[in-house]
Structure 1
Amino acid sequence: MDFIGYKSDALGAAVALVNVVTAEPTGDRDTPPEQDGRRLRDLLVEHRYLAQRAPASAEPALRAWARRLRTVFDAAAGDPPDLGATAVAVNALLADVAIGPHLSSHDGQGWHLHYAPPEASLVERVRSTTAFALAMLVSEYGADRHGVCAADGCSRVYADTSRNAARRYCSPACANRAAVAAHRARAKLKATTAPDA
């Protein structure tokens, strides 16, 4: 689903940033900081940002932004999701991004909309596009299309872009593990409550 017409996958980038920074271990203490920074740049390139030449100094700002993005997913994680809290979290993000919408054509891409001013840094572009992607998701679908994985012990987030809006897990692996655990729990309950033969 293309929520904002941007040439990057801003919604996917928001989810990936949050998961890499807040839900996955950052590696052992021997991991050089420049390698960790490359991991974030690679993630952005994968989501179609022009981040190949991003300076290593962008990493702390991207990590801080990922923690801010997480507030939107956490607000929607309740049962039922709290749309008011989700909107407050999105508005807080939007209040802190540099806005300067304009049409741009660069690097062989056709004309497309940029949300940050032309002189914006990579971090500013990531911040504006991911904030707008989450704003479009919430304004279009409320708080039902994103949240924290429902699998026990998983803190990864997801954004549901499917037609049926039934997603509650970050990945098929977590959905499968949850289904197996539920099946085993039902079988155990049935075995303990069955009358002796």
Structure 2
Amino acid sequence: MEVNGYRSDGVGAAVAMVNAWTGEQGAAPDVASARGVLAPFSFLVDDLDESALEPLVEWSGQLRAFFEITDLEAAVAHVNVLLARVEVRPRLVDHGHGLHLHHAPSGVPFVQRIRINTAMGLANLVADYGVGRSGVCAAVGCARVFADTSRNGRKRYCSDACANRANVAAHRARRRASAPGG
């Protein structure tokens, strides 16, 4: 799957926000940590201030609900709810990075830009690939989420570390089961 620009930034930001700010291991952000979570996804984080923190955490909870859905119809309905909360006014721009699409005009508040890009990213993910490319990590005890943007679309874990732990545990279980007296 070739995902670039706003698509990957929106999907990646959604995953990062959910994993950083929701669930058992989620933590309420301060401005610096919130900027750190979102900067890798091409957002102009200098606009992020204290007033954005609570709305971002609230939005992250709504994004988490998407990743927990396994039924396509329910996922479509949830994404449509997210999309209804944003005002998308697309336009083509070139500000030194080549011609590309912006989902909102200049001057839209930071939180609204995050909502627009994450909602649009998830909408594109579902439209192109259904719900099989996103979810909650399959590792026992892990509640982090993932979105698979790889070519083969077989990701089921939030990270290589969780995948490796699960594979090692499965290997050890098979060895115990095949051992004499096992």
Q: Secondary structure at the match of 2:104?
A: coil
Match of 2:170 in 1: 182
**Cα gap change, 1:148/1:132 in structure 2, threshold over 3 Å: closer, same or farther?**
same
Between the aligned partners of 1:68 and 1:90, the Cα distance in structure 2 is 10
1:145 to 109, 133, 157: 133
Letter in 2 for 1:149: C
**Cα gap change, 1:89/1:4 in structure 2, threshold over 3 Å: closer, same or farther?**
farther
1:97 to 60, 83, 86: 86
What's the TM-score, normalizing by structure 1? 0.84
**Cα gap change, 1:8/1:86 in structure 2, threshold over 3 Å: closer, same or farther?**
closer
Between the aligned partners of 1:127 and 1:100, the Cα distance in structure 2 is 13
Q: Secondary structure at the match of 2:50?
A: coil
Q: Secondary structure at the match of 1:90?
A: helix
Match of 1:26 in 2: 27
| Deviation at residue 193 of structure 1 after TM alignment | 4.5
Structure 2 stretches lacking a partner, 5+ long: none
Between the aligned partners of 2:57 and 2:151, the Cα distance in structure 1 is 31
| Deviation at residue 110 of structure 1 after TM alignment | 3.1
What's the TM-score, normalizing by structure 2? 0.90
Structure 1 stretches lacking a partner, 5+ long: 28-32, 77-81
Between the aligned partners of 1:137 and 1:95, the Cα distance in structure 2 is 17
1:172 to 133, 142, 160: 160
1:39 to 20, 33, 43: 33
Between the aligned partners of 1:167 and 1:100, the Cα distance in structure 2 is 33
Which of 1 and 2 has higher RCO (CA within 8 Å, sep 6+)? 2
RMSD: 2.0
Question: Can you list the C-alpha shifts for 1:61-93, whole angstroms capped at 9, x where unaligned?
Answer: 1111111111110003xxxxx111111111110
Larger radius of gyration: 1
| Deviation at residue 188 of structure 1 after TM alignment | 1.9
Question: Can you list the C-alpha shifts for 1:134-192, whole angstroms capped at 9, x where unaligned?
Answer: 00000000111010000000000001111111100000000000011111112222236
Between the aligned partners of 2:53 and 2:45, the Cα distance in structure 1 is 11
Matched, 1:123 2:99: no
Contact 2:7 2:124 in 1 (8 A): no
Contact 1:8 1:48 in 2 (8 A): no
Match of 2:15 in 1: 15
Match of 1:30 in 2: none
Letter in 2 for 1:6: Y
